[in-house]
Amino acid sequence: MIMVLPDDPKYALRKVDEIREMVDNDLGFQQAPLTCSRAKTLLFISNDKKVAGCLIAEHIQWGYRVIEEKIPEVGSENDKVIFERQKAWCCSTSPEPALCGISRIWVFSLMRRKKIASRMLECLRSNFIYGSYLSKEEIAFSDPTPDGKLFATQYCGTSQFLVYNFLSGQQPA
């Protein structure tokens, strides 16, 4: 795993920009542009020396808790899985303090479901703030995709994890 920090040499930051563009392409440009240049990037390098995973994290102050939407009781198990994947998420309007925003998290398609994203998050939690280990409660996810939502629900152990970066930004009125 490689961590690229804002003060790293230009060539490293340029490489990270390239990778971010590729990730944004894959995400369909749904993610908000990075709000600050203090972002920290984690790259997961595969055995054949390719970038198999990328996590971009930024400092934030607030997150908003996802509000659980009831899954309709009717329908088959398969219908429920489809509903779970497709439903839009809603979140609370009251801000809760948070420290670390996951701006983007991405794993190469053929290497998904091998805990690469989980390992990148563990690594981030020990390295985001020097000398401290972030709790899951201090992390928020930027406008999650269906995959992102399923991953965050499993990783945080709750579907009511924190989100940020939607509509008008993260500052409370």
128 forms part of the interface with ligand ACO (CB under 6 A)? no
Task: Report the residue number whose CB is nearest to ligand ACO.
Answer: 148
| C-beta closer to ligand ACO: residue 7 or 48 | 48
For the record, the structure tokens of 60 come out as: 């934030």
Number of neighbours of residue 143 by Cβ within 10 angstroms: 17
How many residues form the binding site for ligand ACO (CB under 6 A)? 22
Is residue 52 within 8 Å of residue 111, measured between CB atoms?
yes
Residue from 4, 57, 102, 139 in contact with ligand ACO (CB under 6 A)? 102
Binding mask 47-76 for ligand ACO (x = CB under 6 A): ------------------------------
Q: How far is CA 105 from the centre of its chain?
A: 5
| C-beta closer to ligand ACO: residue 10 or 48 | 48
Residue from 16, 117, 134, 162 in contact with ligand ACO (CB under 6 A)? 117
Burial of 106 from C-beta contacts in 10 A (0-12 / 13-18 / 19+): buried
- CA-nearest of 81, 37, 57 to 134 is 57
Residue 45 Cβ vs ligand ACO, minimum distance, rounded to whole Å: 14
